[in-house]
């Protein structure tokens, strides 16, 4: 079973346009779900995002701001908003602050990929091993059948 790296060229032009056009609203909607509705929780989230950005030494705003406010977070979380888009690094800070990578899922979906938790990797490995075992058994059976010819 060979694996091939995904390419943007694998997508038809229409899929690419439709996927990319809805990408930021989908990311924002996922961030909004993760942030929740609790006012105090969102305020604590602002602090955690700022802590991650400070620790990593990155800017969170297009103007080079090293920290965000509660109002900026709320603007980021509005799926229909055409302005105030969080940068990719800001989205990563959000994911690290919340320990939830689901806002990245729309990015990978455009590429035909899916985000899974590292604990789920075990199930994929077991599935691959079972498939390899089945193929090996079939090969052994075919070889034994040829021996008796």
Distance from C-alpha of 102 to C-alpha of 21, rounded to nearest angstrom = 19
Q: In whole angstroms, what is the distance from residue 110 CA to residue 13 CA?
A: 12
- Average the pLDDT over 30-56 and give the result: 95
- pTM, two decimals, is 0.72
CA dihedral of residues 110, 119, 125, 31 (deg, nearest 10) = 0
Q: What is the mean pLDDT of the chain?
A: 87
Check residue 125 and give its pLDDT: 94
69-107 pLDDT tens trace: 999 999 999 988 888 899 999 999 999 999 999 999 999
Contact 35, 98 (CB under 8 A): yes
């Amino acid at each position: 079973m060979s694996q091939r790296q995904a390419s943007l060229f694998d997508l038809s032009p229409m899929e690419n346009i439709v996927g990319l056009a809805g990408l930021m609203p989908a990311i924002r909607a996922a961030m909004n779900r993760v942030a929740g509705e609790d006012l105090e929780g969102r305020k604590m989230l602002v602090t955690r995002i700022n802590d991650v950005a400070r620790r990593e030494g990155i800017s969170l705003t297009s103007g080079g701001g090293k920290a965000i406010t509660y109002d900026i977070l709320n603007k980021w979380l509005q799926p229909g908003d055409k302005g105030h888009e969080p940068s990719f690094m800001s989205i990563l800070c959000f994911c690290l602050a919340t320990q939830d990578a689901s806002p990245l899922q729309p990015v990978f979906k455009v590429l035909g990929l899916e985000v899974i938790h590292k604990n789920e990797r075990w199930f994929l490995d077991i599935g691959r091993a079972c498939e390899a075992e089945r193929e090996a058994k079939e090969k052994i059976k075919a070889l034994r059948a040829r021996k008796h010819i």
